[in-house]
Amino acid sequence: MSQGRYPSFILASASPRRRDLLTRAGYRFEVVISDIDESVFAAEGVSADEYARLLALAKARSVAERHINSLVVGADTVADFQGQIIGKPSDAEQARQITVRLFSSPHRIITGVAIVRLCDGIELCRSDSTTVYPRKLTDNQLAEHIEGGTWRDKAGAYAIQEDGDEFVERIEGSLTNVMGMPMELFARMLGEIRGT
């Protein structure tokens, strides 16, 4: 590992929010996007927590195979609505349907985080869960949300901001987890690696 406060690593994610959170926290990393096809991973028969971990690990392993001496970090975020796994919407109509459902009652946002380095057999995979208590959306708010396009490439078709969100009453758990990278969990995982 490199010298300094944190080890440098490869982030196997295209998410600009993950990059921003990690950069602002002082981590040094490069981005290599995983080439896995998420659609081949069946969500049936597994919990949302297991599914998020499965995808995070697949992303990390995919990039680690091309960079065997590097520490590779993968992450994946999903929503759990009454036991149903909800990922990223494919189009505006699906985004509308997801938003109507999720903002009708509390739901969980789960992010799986995996850290892999093949040269010395390091493989950690954990997940964090945050409960989101939404505000009831008006028809106008729903329409503006869909037309605005901020749902694109977001699990659960929305993105909470650090200073709160007009659609969210409160959360229980990690805010950065809802944003796509549970920073507290990630720091603990790096600590585990340092101890090996």
List the catalytic residues: 76
Helix-helix angle 139-148:92-102, to 10 degrees: 140
Please report which residue ranges of 65-110 form alpha helices under DSSP H: 92-102
Query: Could you give the CA distance from residue 39 to residue 7 in angstroms, rounded to a whole number?
Result: 32
Distances (CA, A) of 151 to 6, 88, 144, 175: 32, 8, 11, 18
CA distances from 85 to 110, 114, 148, 164, 195 (A): 10, 19, 24, 24, 34
d(CA 57, CA 76): 9
Query: How far is CA 165 from its chain centroid?
Result: 18
Alpha-carbon distances, residue 32 vs 19, 72, 134 (angstroms): 12, 9, 34
